[in-house]
């Protein structure tokens, strides 16, 4: 296992964790742009653009793009998040060059107007589908309420209005501004031929013209709120709860991941024993997610409407109890064992490693081996977790609930 | 490439089948017992899932907290599932912890406490899961489609029915356990890093004295209505279409499966291209092959807004009818490339491989090596697929829609 890095003259960074023992090769372009880089007028453009990337380039039609990926047997796709858009493919090692060249090409899409209009319908269907799917937009509503004026309040899909009104020109301007080489990293994992990776990137991406894309720093604006939305057609009641937590550059993020696992993993955690094992809730889980300048603990709850008020109180009681008493050494060890094993098992697939290596590089500009991550987890102590709970009190947060209930009182 | 698969039949009928993957740090297992939901009595639908839920609430020397705590500390990433024919426990962990993990699950399948004082909690878990499906229209339409595709009880959903779940008593649970959690008909599949002689000895020690039981018979009856609209208040209309196919062990399986790969496998496949890429009719459209031991089906899904649902159904059915006219060489070439990659990449996952060898053993009573599978896929030709399609064109469709408005199913569909 060897980490290699190289930067092209135009600023495109190329990094790879090279593993001669792997059967496959995973490559991806990590573009540092997402929902937080949008404005109201172009809400959802990052995600729509990610779809349009597969719709043709100066040398390939949309059919060509899909056929070429399939013809090399690639496991490929793309996704858009709040802070990044990732285009990836896992292929057999002999296809590395073709996969990188194809991915590089689709990062310069031509955005043909006919395909733009047709794909707009697909995006609208994705929004409708999302709204039909639990928790019926409660996550977005909670995010918007929790983050207030901070750009992480934005949603990835945009709205029916913003997508309907979006123009090709606006998308082209966004593409031109954000997909600059200094704002993109080419990442490889698995059986990578690094010299070939650099040479393919030089051939395919050297013409990309640098321009500072940037991302302004934003101030936190979180407040505690409780919002209840009625949706009469729902069967179950759903709740999403967000609290501030350590960011992606905060060394406390490992303690936060372990704390979330001990309190709210979907099996064997305090929330599990309190709410799921007892049959009081269908689902109750707490996770930690991190961003450049903010972090979140997110609770998801779904249950019978009649039990929602009591269950929300139980969730609050569980986190308050942790705030006052911390977690035990035994709970922490159990969380470490579980998380460490997941890290090791997941790393057996290059495609899984791609996501970890790429995110670390783009967000923190560093490389962490699996061993580094295991060491960081092992170093967390119960005192450390207690300090974290004092710094980011889990009992403070925003809750949005949606379901058949006309009204619901917040927990005390 | 892994060149060996080991198998060992215990005297009581349990089969241990294992494939070494020495390059991995992990080992994974799938333990299938013949306790699927087809054995649920009609008035106790959901019993298999309920029994599985109860079996995980303490077994052998562990109560439920110790059970989960020990698995967490061993770093076992595990799940349970109930299918038509089996209840299956799967897990993956670091190779050194495999014997301990197998011992814990031996307790689950042989010595569960099935605690009376947790019956109501278990029932609530089952009821919550059943209610949750009501909020998942895309999942619900496929459950209702499968229910109507196969003769009863083979299409029955493992989640069960409300009244039945409310009526299930502890005696029902222990009865189902005694009948279905038995070694004859059970398979334990292991893939990853292990020593075969030691694994075999471990499994003999854990399961050698397990007593076999009788295989119950299953009565069948066909479902009467093949087209149905279920009213549902939502933004989108859900469309499910299925047609019969051949099961995994059938000699025509690979040509039949190849045709479905051309229909829906990769983004250049026909359904994705024609329904989504060309017409923008929906976000999600796919066809998937599902098989039982003696029967199979191709299950197609699309979800779209009510205004365009009729066109979506029409295009979907037109593509199924077009498939009968055959596939082309370039389509087959891409399919082969995808499968070649998939098979090679399966060597990076002990979990995927253990699931595959368990499946093979159940359907074939042997394991197809990755080389053999590669050869079978490589041997597919347009002629073989098209000959199959000419003889078995997609037809006898079952159509289930879910949404605000009913759709018209063309008369050409019998």
Per-residue H/E/C for chain B? CCCCCEEEECCCCCEEEEEECCCCCEEEEEEEECCCHHHCCHHHCCHHHHHHHHHCCCECCECHHHHHHHHHHCCCEEEEEECCCCEEEEEEEEHHHHHHHHHHHHHHHHCECCCHHHHHHHHHHHHHHHHHHHCCHHHHHHHHHHHHHCCECCCCCCCCCHHHHHHCCHHHHHHHHHHHCCCCCCEEEEEECCCHHHHHHHHHHHHCCCCCCCCCCCCCECCCCCEEEEECCCCCEEEEEEEEECCCCCCCHHHHHHHHHHHCCCCCCHHHHHHHHCCCCCCEEEEEEEECCCCEEEEEEEEECHHHHHHHHHHHHHHHHHHCCCCCHHHHHHHHHHHHHHHHHHHHCHHHHHHHHHHHHHHHCCCCCHHHHHHHHHCCCHHHHHHHHHHCCCCCCEEEEEECCCCCCCCCCC
* Backbone φ and ψ of B159, nearest 5°: -65, -25
**Same domain, yes or no, for B383 and B242?**
yes
**Same domain, yes or no, for B50 and B161?**
yes
Q: Do domains A2-205 and A226-403 have the same CATH topology?
A: yes
Q: Chain A residues with CB inside 8 Å of B330's CB?
A: 67
Q: Chain A residues with CB inside 8 Å of B71's CB?
A: 268
Question: Residue B95: inside a domain, yes or no?
Answer: yes
Note the pLDDT of residue A23. Answer: 95
The predicted-structure confidence for A257-290, as pLDDT tens digits, reads as follows 999 999 999 999 999 999 999 999 999 999 999 9
**Å from A4 to nearest chain B CA?**
23
Q: Name which of B79, B80, B124, B273 to mutate to probe chain A: the one with the most chain A Cβ atoms within 10 A of its Cβ.
A: B124
Is B136 within 8 Å of chain A by CB?
Answer: yes
Residues A132, B234: C-beta atoms closer than 8 Å: yes
**A290 beta partners:** A295
Residues B128, A350: C-beta atoms closer than 8 Å: no
**Same domain, yes or no, for B165 and B266?**
no
Is A119 within 8 Å of chain B by CB?
Answer: yes
Note the pLDDT of residue A322. Answer: 97
Residue of A nearest to B122 (CA): A279
Residues B75, A126: C-beta atoms closer than 8 Å: no
Q: Chain B residues with CB inside 8 Å of A72's CB?
A: 337, 341
Among B269, B283, B345, the residue with its CB nearest the CB of A129 is B283
**Domain total in chain B:** 2
**Predicted TM-score (pTM) above 0.90:** yes
Is B14 within 8 Å of chain A by CB?
Answer: no
Segments of chain B with pLDDT less than 70: 1-3, 411-414
Boundaries of domain holding B310: 227-403
Is A114 within 8 Å of chain B by CB?
Answer: no
Is B64 within 8 Å of chain A by CB?
Answer: yes
Residues B267, A302: C-beta atoms closer than 8 Å: no
Residues B124, A279: C-beta atoms closer than 8 Å: yes
**Å from B58 to nearest chain A CA?**
12
Residue of A nearest to B94 (CA): A341
Is B303 within 8 Å of chain A by CB?
Answer: yes
Note the pLDDT of residue B3. Answer: 59
**Same domain, yes or no, for B199 and B236?**
no
Q: Name which of A61, A69, A70 to mutate to probe chain B: the one with the most chain B Cβ atoms within 10 A of its Cβ.
A: A70
Domain CATH for B295: 3.30.830.10
Restricting to B residues 337-376, those with a Cβ less than 8 Å away from any Cβ of A are: 337-342, 344-345, 347-350
How large is the ipTM?
A: 0.94
Residues B68, A92: C-beta atoms closer than 8 Å: no
**Same domain, yes or no, for B203 and B231?**
no
Q: Name which of B90, B239, B348, B349 to mutate to probe chain A: the one with the most chain A Cβ atoms within 10 A of its Cβ.
A: B348
Question: Residue B219: inside a domain, yes or no?
Answer: no
Residues B128, A282: C-beta atoms closer than 8 Å: yes
CB pairs under 8 A between A and B: 187
Residues B283, A71: C-beta atoms closer than 8 Å: no
Note the pLDDT of residue B68. Answer: 97
**Same domain, yes or no, for B273 and B365?**
yes
**Å from A133 to nearest chain B CA?**
6
Domain boundary among B207, B242, B264: B207
Is A221 within 8 Å of chain B by CB?
Answer: no
Note the pLDDT of residue B412. Answer: 53
Residues A92, B340: C-beta atoms closer than 8 Å: yes
Residue of B nearest to A277 (CA): B121
Restricting to B residues 307-326, those with a Cβ less than 8 Å away from any Cβ of A are: none
Q: Divide the 412 residues of chain A into consecutive groups of 10 and give the mean pLDDT of each group.
A: 97 97 96 97 98 97 97 97 98 98 98 96 97 96 95 97 98 98 97 98 96 86 90 97 96 97 96 97 98 96 97 98 96 97 96 97 96 97 96 96 96 94
Residues B69, A268: C-beta atoms closer than 8 Å: yes
Q: Chain A residues with CB inside 8 Å of B273's CB?
A: 63, 66
Cβ A83 vs Cβ A292: under 8 Å = yes
**Same domain, yes or no, for B184 and B272?**
no
Which H/E stretch holds residue A113?
A: helix A113-132
Residues B341, A342: C-beta atoms closer than 8 Å: no
**Same domain, yes or no, for B234 and B383?**
yes
Q: What is the four-CA torsion angle of B43, B44, B45, B51, rounded to 10 degrees? A: -170
**Å from A209 to nearest chain B CA?**
31
CATH of domain A226-403: 3.30.830.10
Domain boundary among B144, B179, B207: B207
Restricting to A residues 77-106, those with a Cβ less than 8 Å away from any Cβ of B are: 90-92
Note the pLDDT of residue A90. Answer: 98
Among B65, B72, B280, the residue with its CB nearest the CB of A338 is B72
**Same domain, yes or no, for B190 and B257?**
no
Domain positions in chain A: 2-205, 226-403
Q: Name which of A78, A79, A115, A128 to mutate to probe chain B: the one with the most chain B Cβ atoms within 10 A of its Cβ.
A: A128
Note the pLDDT of residue B411. Answer: 58
Residues A74, B350: C-beta atoms closer than 8 Å: no
Domain boundary among B151, B172, B207: B207
**Same domain, yes or no, for B277 and B172?**
no
Restricting to A residues 345-384, those with a Cβ less than 8 Å away from any Cβ of B are: 345, 348-350
Q: Which two tokens stand for residue B414?
A: 């019998």
CATH of domain A2-205: 3.30.830.10
Residues A337, B350: C-beta atoms closer than 8 Å: no
* Backbone φ and ψ of A90, nearest 5°: -110, 130
Is A133 within 8 Å of chain B by CB?
Answer: yes
Question: Residue B348: inside a domain, yes or no?
Answer: yes
Q: Chain A residues with CB inside 8 Å of B73's CB?
A: 333-334, 337-338
Rounded-to-integer distance, Cα A167 and Cα A179, Å: 18
Closest alpha carbon to A71 in A51, A52, A94, A53: A94
**Same domain, yes or no, for B59 and B196?**
yes
Restricting to A residues 305-344, those with a Cβ less than 8 Å away from any Cβ of B are: 333-335, 337-338, 340-342, 344
Residue of B nearest to A24 (CA): B345
Residues A348, B75: C-beta atoms closer than 8 Å: no
**Same domain, yes or no, for B339 and B394?**
yes
Closest alpha carbon to B84 in B31, B22, B150, B144: B150
């Amino acid at each position: 296992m060897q980490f290699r890095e190289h930067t092209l003259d135009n600023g495109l960074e190329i990094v790879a964790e090279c593993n001669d023992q792997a059967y496959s090769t995973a490559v991806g372009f990590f573009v540092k742009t997402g929902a937080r880089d949008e404005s109201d007028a172009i809400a959802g453009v990052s995600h729509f653009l990610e779809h349009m990337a597969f719709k043709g380039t100066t040398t390939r039609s949309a059919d060509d793009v899909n056929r070429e990926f399939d013809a090399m047997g690639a496991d490929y796709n793309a996704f858009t998040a709040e802070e990044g858009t990732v285009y990836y493919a896992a292929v057999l090692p002999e296809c590395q060059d073709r996969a990188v060249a194809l991915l590089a090409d689709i990062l310069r899409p031509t955005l043909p107007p006919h395909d733009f209009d047709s794909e707009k319908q697909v995006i609208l269907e994705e929004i409708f589908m999302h709204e039909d799917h639990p928790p019926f937009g409660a996550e977005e509503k909670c995010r918007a309420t929790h983050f207030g004026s901070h750009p992480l309040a934005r949603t990835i899909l945009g709205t029916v209005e913003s997508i309907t009104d979006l123009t090709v020109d606006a998308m082209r301007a966004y593409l031109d501004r954000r997909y600059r080489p200094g704002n993109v990293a080419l990442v490889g994992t698995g059986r990578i031929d690094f010299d070939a990776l650099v040479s393919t990137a030089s051939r395919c991406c050297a013409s990309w013209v640098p321009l500072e894309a940037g991302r302004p720093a934003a101030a936190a604006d979180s407040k505690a709120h409780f919002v209840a939305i009625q949706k009469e057609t729902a069967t179950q009641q759903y709740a999403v709860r967000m609290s501030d937590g350590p960011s992606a550059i905060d060394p406390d993020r490992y303690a936060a991941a372990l704390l979330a696992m001990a309190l709210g993993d979907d099996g064997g955690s305090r929330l599990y024993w309190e709410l799921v094992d007892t049959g009081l809730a269908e689902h109750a889980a707490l996770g930690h997610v991190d961003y450049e300048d903010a972090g979140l603990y997110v609770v998801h709850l779904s249950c019978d409407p009649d039990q929602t008020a009591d269950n929300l109180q139980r969730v609050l009681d569980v986190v308050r109890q942790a705030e006052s008493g911390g977690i035990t050494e035994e709970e922490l060890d159990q969380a470490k064992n579980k998380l460490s094993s997941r890290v090791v098992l997941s790393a057996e697939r290059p495609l899984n490693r791609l996501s970890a290596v790429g995110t670390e590089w783009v967000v923190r500009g560093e490389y962490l081996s699996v061993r580094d991550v295991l060491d960081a987890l092992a170093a967390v102590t119960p005192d450390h977790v207690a300090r974290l709970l004092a710094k980011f009190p889990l009992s403070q947060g925003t809750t949005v609930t949606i379901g058949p209930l006309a009204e619901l009182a917040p927990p005390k | 490439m892994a060149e060996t698969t080991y198998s060992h039949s215990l005297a009581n009928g349990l089969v241990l089948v294992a494939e070494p993957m020495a390059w991995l740090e992990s080992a994974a297992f799938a333990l299938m017992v013949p306790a699927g939901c087809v054995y649920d009595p009609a008035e106790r639908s959901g019993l298999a899932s309920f029994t599985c839920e109860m079996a995980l609430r303490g077994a052998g020397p562990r109560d439920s907290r110790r059970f989960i705590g020990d698995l967490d500390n061993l770093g076992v990433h595990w799940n349970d599932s109930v299918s038509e024919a089996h209840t299956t426990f799967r897990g993956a962990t670091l190779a050194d912890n495999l014997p301990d993990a197998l011992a814990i699950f031996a307790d689950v399948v042989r010595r569960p406490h099935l605690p009376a004082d947790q019956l109501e909690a278990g029932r609530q878990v089952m009821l919550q899961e059943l209610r949750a499906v009501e909020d998942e229209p895309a999942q619900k339409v496929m459950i209702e489609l499968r229910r109507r595709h196969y003769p009863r009880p083979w299409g029955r959903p493992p989640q069960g029915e409300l009244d039945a779940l409310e009526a299930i008593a502890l005696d029902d649970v222990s009865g189902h356990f005694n009948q279905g959690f038995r070694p004859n008909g059970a398979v334990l599949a292991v893939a990853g890093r292990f020593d075969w002689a030691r694994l075999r000895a471990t499994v003999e020690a854990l399961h050698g004295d397990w007593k076999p039981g009788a295989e119950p018979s299953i009565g069948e009856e066909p479902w009467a209505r093949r087209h149905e609209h279920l009213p549902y208040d939502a933004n989108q209309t859900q469309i499910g279409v299925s047609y019969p196919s051949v099961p995994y062990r059938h000699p025509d399986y690979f040509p039949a499966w190849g045709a479905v790969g051309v229909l829906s496998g990769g983004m250049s496949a026909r359904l994705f291209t024609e329904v989504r890429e060309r017409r923008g009719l929906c976000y999600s459209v796919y066809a998937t092959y599902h098989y039982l031991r003696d029967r199979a089906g191709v299950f197609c899904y699309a979800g779209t807004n009510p205004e365009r649902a009729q066109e979506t159904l029409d295009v979907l059915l037109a593509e199924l009818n077009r498939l009968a006219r055959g596939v082309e060489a370039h389509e087959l070439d891409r399919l082969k490339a995808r499968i070649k990659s998939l098979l090679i990449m399966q060597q990076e996952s002990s979990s995927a491989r253990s699931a595959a060898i368990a499946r093979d053993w159940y359907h074939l009573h042997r394991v197809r090596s990755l080389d053999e599978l590669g050869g079978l896929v490589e041997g597919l030709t347009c002629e073989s697929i098209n000959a199959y399609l000419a003889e078995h064109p997609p037809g006898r469709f079952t159509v289930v829609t879910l949404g605000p408005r009913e759709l018209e199913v063309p008369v050409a569909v019998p």
